[in-house]
Amino acid sequence: MRAREAGCIERLRDGLQECEANYFALPGVLHLGAREVYIGQLVDSMRRIRFVHTLLERDIHPSRADGLSEMFDPLKAAALRKAEGNIDEACWLVFLFVHFGKHLVSGYRYAREVYGALGTRAPWTFSEASADTEGFRSWLHQHEAQICRGARRGFGNHRKYQSLSAYRPNGTGDAVESYVRWVGEYGSHAVLFENSIEDALNDPEVAFDRLYRSMNSVTSFGRTAKFDYLTMIGKLGLADIRPGSAYFSSATGPVVGARLMLQGNTSKGFSIAELDQRIHKLGEILGVGMQEMEDSLCNWQKSPTTYINFRG
């Protein structure tokens, strides 16, 4: 535990006790061991999300946005492009970050090699990919075997069943084309987000929900990918949006964690709507956002009484 987080941990302990005393029981953390493990996972989640905010305050090396450099990092690249005022490219890099994920061994290699086009042509920026999606598919098809080379390869943990294929249904080609089409209806990411926020009467949570539902048209972006993409857009300050719930519908791990927390077991009990409502209230009491709640519950349920530092 980091010394500066001691006060945060005490606040979280007090918040759990307040919830139990004044609102509803939390049988999943009745015993001290499970309670401390959950607090540890929640602190980890808060730390990961806080790190993204700090990117906007740091000096970032230009190589972080170079698809031909081993230093390439799509999130840091997005922060660089945002600082330059290139919102389309920043959002595109967030999309690539979510679509490919970060592999536990090979890191961002898939995202880097696709974005940098392996040095065979100009990088596949948003401008390039949106202007010629068929050209992107053709290039990907020609170089798929090269990108898939060796054992140190793959998508991130949340995307491990995703296909790199340019033409196979629900593959990377479909994902890119459908994403470009989603943005293209408005001409740019900025206009897309501005319209959603205006339609939501400047309510960040309503705007998030509108965008979340509209992303059903983005191929291979299910519940987790949509949630991760939009929360990252909000954290990087690319749009004034934030989740107003944990979006448990269609979720697996977070729902198991919520049931364990609120019921003391993982059997069907509370409805999804009730789980969402109670976890939202618990987040309010703890002073924690819905992304932190969703992430911490998902990781905690994997090992409720023994702390594990999850990275994948």
Condensed to tens digits (0 to 9), the pLDDT of residues 214-249 reads 999 999 999 999 999 999 999 999 999 999 999 998
Residue 311: the pLDDT is 65
283 CB-side CA count, 13 A: 23
**Is residue 99 a contact partner of residue 162, using CB atoms and an 8 Å limit?**
yes
| Sequence-ordered list of residues with C-beta below 8 angstroms from that of 298, at least 6 positions apart, any chain | 253, 254, 257
Condensed to tens digits (0 to 9), the pLDDT of residues 94-127 reads 999 999 999 988 899 999 999 999 999 999 999 9
Residues of the chain above pLDDT 90, percent: 85
Condensed to tens digits (0 to 9), the pLDDT of residues 268-301 reads 899 999 999 999 999 999 999 999 999 999 999 9
**Is residue 290 a contact partner of residue 245, using CB atoms and an 8 Å limit?**
yes
244 CB-side CA count, 13 A: 14
Residue 6: the pLDDT is 79
Q: pTM to 2 decimals?
A: 0.92
Closest to 16 (Cα-Cα) out of 7, 8, 25 = 25
Residue 1: the pLDDT is 47
Place of tokens 């290139």: 86
- Pair of tokens at residue 258: 């919520």
